[in-house]
């Protein structure tokens, strides 16, 4: 079980690294004006999204389900239900990032860099809530 837990933590960390960095790339991409820079951001975003973030998300969720269903960690507790809700919101945020990436890729972005700066704060709040739930187990 400890190997599963360790790997779960590693993939959660790598997923969150991407969730923090991709919207930051969107900030810079929304500010970019030159064609060369815009094309570079498209490559960076694609590699981050599909090379790191999505595989990490799949593995983090799969290993988390293994811990929950296979070992019974948090089974029947309120904190686990709240954590699962946060994971669903994170998955939705990830999917939203995919949609935003698709808009940038097709040069259809309509949002400002300021909007992306605020969008970038969402995973910070979700990470804080998830860590408190897992460590403190308030209910």
- The pLDDT score that the predictor gives to residue 30 is 98
pTM of the predicted model as reported, rounded to 2 decimal places: 0.96
The per-residue DSSP string of 43-67 comes to: HHHHHIIIIIIHHHHHHHHHHHHII
* pLDDT tens for the chain, residues 1 to 139: 999 999 999 999 999 999 999 999 999 999 999 999 999 999 999 999 999 999 999 999 999 999 999 999 999 999 999 999 999 999 999 999 999 999 999 999 999 999 999 999 999 999 999 999 999 999 9
- The pLDDT score that the predictor gives to residue 136 is 97
Q: How far apart are CA 27 and CA 38, in angstroms?
A: 12
In this predicted model, what pLDDT tens digit does every residue of 38-48 receive, in sequence order?
999 999 999 99
Q: How far apart are CA 75 and CA 29, in angstroms?
A: 42
Q: How far apart are CA 12 and CA 83, in angstroms?
A: 13
Q: What are the residue boundaries of the structural domains of the chain, listed by start?
A: 2-136
């Amino acid at each position: 079980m400890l190997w599963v837990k360790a790997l779960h933590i590693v993939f959660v960390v790598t997923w969150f690294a991407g969730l923090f960095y991709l919207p930051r790339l969107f900030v810079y991409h929304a500010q970019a004006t030159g064609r060369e820079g815009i094309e570079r951001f498209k490559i960076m975003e694609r590699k981050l999204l599909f090379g790191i973030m999505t595989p990490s998300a799949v593995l983090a969720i799969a290993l988390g389900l293994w811990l929950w269903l296979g070992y019974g960690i948090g089974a029947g507790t309120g904190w686990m239900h709240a954590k699962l809700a946060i994971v669903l919101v994170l998955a939705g945020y990830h999917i939203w990032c995919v949609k935003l990436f698709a808009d940038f890729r097709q040069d259809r972005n309509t949002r400002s860099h300021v909007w992306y700066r605020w969008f970038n704060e969402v995973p910070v709040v979700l990470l804080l809530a998830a860590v408190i739930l897992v460590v403190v187990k308030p209910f």
